[in-house]
Amino acid sequence: MKPDLLQQIRKPTLLLDEKKARKNLKRMAEKAAAQHIRFRPHFKTHQSAQIGEWFREAGATAITASSLSMASYFADHGWRDILVAFPANLREIETMQELSARVRLGLLVESEEIVTALGKNLALPVDIWIKIDTGLNRAGLDVNDPEAVLALVSEVRRYPGLNLRGLLTHAGQTYHASSNAEIREKYAHSWQALAKLRGEIASGGNPSSEISVGDTPGCWLSDDLGQVDEIRPGNFIFFDSMMFDLGVCAWDEIAVAVACPLVALHARRNEAVIYGGAVHFSKEALQQDGQASYGYAAFFTENGWQFTGRENRVISLSQEHGVLRLNPADFHCLKVGDLIGILPVHSCLTVDALENYLSLDGQEISTLLSG
Amino acid sequence: MKPDLLQQIRKPTLLLDEKKARKNLKRMAEKAAAQHIRFRPHFKTHQSAQIGEWFREAGATAITASSLSMASYFADHGWRDILVAFPANLREIETMQELSARVRLGLLVESEEIVTALGKNLALPVDIWIKIDTGLNRAGLDVNDPEAVLALVSEVRRYPGLNLRGLLTHAGQTYHASSNAEIREKYAHSWQALAKLRGEIASGGNPSSEISVGDTPGCWLSDDLGQVDEIRPGNFIFFDSMMFDLGVCAWDEIAVAVACPLVALHARRNEAVIYGGAVHFSKEALQQDGQASYGYAAFFTENGWQFTGRENRVISLSQEHGVLRLNPADFHCLKVGDLIGILPVHSCLTVDALENYLSLDGQEISTLLSG
């Protein structure tokens, strides 16, 4: 880190190492391209038009958003094929209409009444993806219930404006796996289950459906992405302490860190109070030895930051401050007024909370949230 | 709730019941006034200039902020006595200087090096509060270590620009109490320990110090606020599911609810998917029967909302959506497209995430964050 860059930081600041992010991006884009699979990255992680351009340079032409507001923002920035991977919200039909006039809009459905409402109220054609639950138990039709899926397919096909695009799942159960092998298994199971379901739909006389999958752990770790048409990973661009703990990435693949001023030191407890709290990180926690952890410490170096072991971590977060516990040797290197880096537990939520990035070469990068 | 107000809601929206908030405010302000104790409410909970005016109407002239940015915002809105109840951050000395030129500024210190830096660098007088740890073990000097406090007092008195105002604690340990009686005990213990410390400082030949305390549970539940000079509660203006679970407030004293569109129903699990996730609520969790809970459901009624039991609660939060589990009878009242209210776990963090309020009479109320 350039000393003059650190010098100008007054408050918790989201630092972005562009080189690491672009390297992560390149690996994922190339893997998809090599297997002739559409790369439809989830932009909820970075929420930034400028970072979106890095994806365009890497060959992406289609994207995923998690809300219609986010889709509108990226439509304003030239994206023309946008899937909103969130169950269609009937209260926003006007926004869907507006958006479908200027982009190829994909919507997610899982119930007949939603399909009926979309079919009756949307004037322009949209792509319809049926949300399938392959084991996360959050949203979607059960992958083992082809009758329900076929009924929904029939309802979609009643409306000429609804283009049945395919089946979509988020195999977020990979986030709870205990090994890389288990992540790959869960990923493979999820697309295989969708492929079987696709066969059952086709044998019912329906047109062919695409398959869209998308969790970062599965897409990052699986050499064979399987018989899918597109992948929608998002988090891999930055990674975070959660992905590091899960064994998906190395610490030096984490592309973001929050620079936090040290405001108090408590030598008896080897604890530092940092300016950096729940309003900066959100409050996602990891569990470590039965204790909550809110992110690992990283010490700034000439070229970036250095992870120094899992024992150096944030053990509590209040609204504006956090308590960082360190091993004694590292603790004694600190003084009040210094900056420490924190590798966030969940980079997507931290980006949403901080709304702006500062790149390592001193450039401010805005997001949808910062305007 | 007026039907046309609910009708206009498209996305997760923070509803504010002004009557409840003003009633909570009146009770706290009157209690402080009756005991001749300065009411210095913490504005980090609402972060709104407009809501700040309600406090002014209730007699408040001094306030607490959790950051210098927040202090600057309220200074812009006419507040002239502001305590920043956060350890002084040396990287923001310029902001302190700017602010001390236009308000009576209180700063929080707990180490000699910070005091020295403030004394040498601040041109205009500021009030200095010494942060004392009365059991939370987060920040501050140990209340049982009068030597350390006396040493800091001496350092403060070396600088004519530093006005030693008093001793300050946040007895946040009341948040972990198991009964109202225990909350009152912890509150009483905290001010009594400060009063003893004040005596020790005075007997060292120092001028008299004030005492500032401030957790919502202790201030709300204690009839006798004790020998303190000021109280700094914040959360009581809105309360939330956490204060309700702790037994501090009744459900109908909670003055905020997030209106969330229902986007999917899963009858087999009695679960609804709501548009409302970690970016709207933050991710503070309560523990209930060994499971995380992210807020209780409230059904909208003619005049507001109705709590329907602790079993109706959000059991998981993703970035944009949550999963709400209900008892079967309540579940069967729902349909997609409806709105459900969620009583947030931690109202301060939810306000920070949503940035704007909608009052029950349809008025939009902005905050520091929404500009």
Nearest to B284 among A66, A92, A283 (CB): A283
Coil, helix or strand at residue B79: coil
CB contact under 8 A, A90 and B114: no
Q: To the nearest whole angstrom, how far is the Cα of A233 from the nearest Cα of chain B?
A: 14
Cα B195 to Cα B189: distance, rounded to the nearest angstrom:
10
Sign of CA dihedral B111, B101, B92, B118: negative
| CA distances in angstroms from B317 to A284, B85, B306, listed in the order given | 10, 31, 22
Query: CA A196, CA B344: separation in Å to the nearest integer?
Result: 41
Residues of A in contact with B318 (CB under 8 A): 138, 172
Mean pLDDT along residues B310-332: 96
Which among A69, A90, A320 is the nearest to B86, CB-wise?
Answer: A320
Cross-chain CB nearest to A10 (options B91, B137, B139)? B91
Confidence label for B2 from pLDDT (cuts 50, 70 and 90):
confident
What is the token pair recorded at A266?
């408590």
Q: Strands B286-288 and B13-16, how do they pair? A: unpaired
Collect all residues of chain A within an 8 Å Cβ-Cβ radius of residue B352: 279, 319
B23 CA: distance to closest CA in chain A (Å) = 25
- Residue numbers in B near A263 (CB within 8 A): 86-90, 114
Residue of B87, B95, B282 lying closest to A283 (CB–CB)? B282
pLDDT of A136: 80
Is B78 in a helix, a strand, or coil? coil
Distance, in angstroms, between B354 CA and closest chain A CA?
11
Question: Which of A144, A235, A280, A320 would best serve as a mutation to test chain B binding (most B beta carbons within 10 A)?
Answer: A320
Reduced 3-state DSSP string for B196-260: HHHHHHHHCCCCCCEEEECCHHHHHHCCCCCCCCEECCCHHHCCCHHHHHCCCCCHHHCCEEEEE
DSSP conformation class of A172: G
Q: Report the distance separating Cα A158 and Cα A151, nearest Å.
A: 11
Min Cα distance A203 → chain B (Å) is 27
CB B100 within 8 A of CB B91: no
Express as a percent the part of chain B with pLDDT over 90. Answer: 92
Query: Which chain B residue lies closest to A273 (C-alpha atoms)?
Result: B139
Q: In this structure, are strands B63-65 and B286-288 parallel, antiparallel, or unpaired?
A: unpaired
Contact between B275 and A114 using a beta-carbon 8 Å cutoff: no
pLDDT by residue for chain A (371 residues), tens only, comes to: 888 999 999 999 999 999 999 999 999 999 999 999 999 999 999 999 999 999 999 999 999 999 999 999 999 999 999 999 999 999 999 999 999 999 999 999 999 999 999 999 999 999 999 999 998 877 889 999 999 999 999 999 999 999 999 999 998 888 889 999 999 999 999 999 999 999 999 998 888 899 999 899 999 999 999 999 999 999 999 999 999 999 999 999 999 999 999 999 999 999 999 999 999 999 999 998 888 999 999 999 999 999 999 999 999 999 999 999 999 999 999 999 999 999 999 999 999 999 999 999 999 999 999 97
**DSSP 8-class letter at A13:** E
Domains and CATH numbers, chain A: 3-14+255-366 (2.40.37.20), 18-239 (3.20.20.10)
* Chain B residues in contact with A44 (beta carbon < 8 A): 319-320
According to the model, what pLDDT value does residue B290 have? 86
Mutant choice from A266, A271, A323 vs B, greatest count of B C-beta within 10 A: A266
Q: What would the pLDDT profile of B21-39 be if each residue is shown by its tens digit? A: 999 999 999 999 999 999 9
Q: Between chains, do A10 and B92 touch, taking CB under 8 Å as contact? A: yes
Separation between Cα atoms, residue B247 and residue B177, nearest integer Å:
10
Q: Minimal Cα distance from B275: which residue of A? A: A89
User: CA end-to-end span of chain A, whole Å?
Assistant: 27
Position B3 scores a pLDDT of 84
Q: Do A10 and B275 touch (CB under 8 A)?
A: no
- Nearest CA of chain A to the CA of B319: how many Å? 7
Range with lowest mean pLDDT among A10-24, B161-175, B240-254, B347-361: B161-175
Phi, psi angle pair for A317, to nearest 5°: -130, 125
Asked if A273 lies within 8 A of B139 by C-beta distance, the reply is yes
- Which ipTM did the prediction report? 0.96
Bridge partner list, A319? none
- Per CB-CB distance under 8 Å, the chain A contacts of B232 are none
CB pairs under 8 A between A and B: 142
Contact B91/A261, CB-based, under 8 Å?
Answer: yes
> Helix B49-57 to helix B68-76 angle, to the nearest 10 degrees?
70
User: B321 and A114: CB-CB below 8 Å?
Assistant: no
Q: Inspect the interface and report whether the beta carbons of A320 and B44 lie closer than 8 Å.
A: yes
Question: For residue A319, which residues of chain B lie inside 8 Å, CB to CB?
Answer: 44, 66, 348-349, 352
Q: What is the pLDDT of residue B30?
A: 98
Probe site for chain B from A319, A321, A348, A350 (most B CB atoms < 10 A): A319
CA nearest neighbour of B70 among B41, B100, B48: B48
Identity at B347, one-letter amino acid code = S
Candidates B38, B21, B20; CA nearest to B29 is B38
Cα angle A277-A283-A289, degrees, rounded to a multiple of 5: 105
Nearest chain B residue to A87, by CA: B263
Residue B199: count other Cβ atoms within 10 Å of its Cβ.
12
Q: Which of B67, B294, B317 to mutate to test the interface with A (most CBs of A within 10 A)?
A: B67
Using the beta-carbon criterion (under 8 Å), do B86 and A275 form an inter-chain contact? Answer: yes
Q: What is the pLDDT of residue A290?
A: 86
The string of pLDDT tens digits covering residues B179-201 is 999 999 999 999 999 999 999 99
Report the pLDDT value the prediction gives residue A262, as an integer from 0 to 100: 98
pLDDT averaged over every residue in chain B: 96
| Contact yes or no for B321 and A86 at CB 8 A | yes
User: How is residue A252 written in tokens?
Assistant: 């030096």
- For residue B301, name the pLDDT band (cuts at 50, 70, 90): very high
A145-159 in b/e burial notation, b at 16+ Cβ within 10 A?
A: ebeebbebbebbbeb
Q: Is the pLDDT of residue B1 over 90?
A: no
Of A269, A278, A336, the CB nearest to B349: A278
pLDDT of residue A135: 85
Please tell me the predicted confidence (pLDDT) of residue A358. 98
How confident is the model over B330-360, as pLDDT tens digits? 999 999 999 999 999 999 999 999 999 999 9
Query: Is there a contact between B67 and A320 if contact means CB atoms under 8 Å apart?
Result: yes
Question: Which tokens hold the place of A59?
Answer: 């060959």
- A75: which strand partners? none
Nearest chain B residue (CA) to A131? B264
| pLDDT on residue A235 | 98
Residues of B whose CB is below 8 A from A67: 11, 320
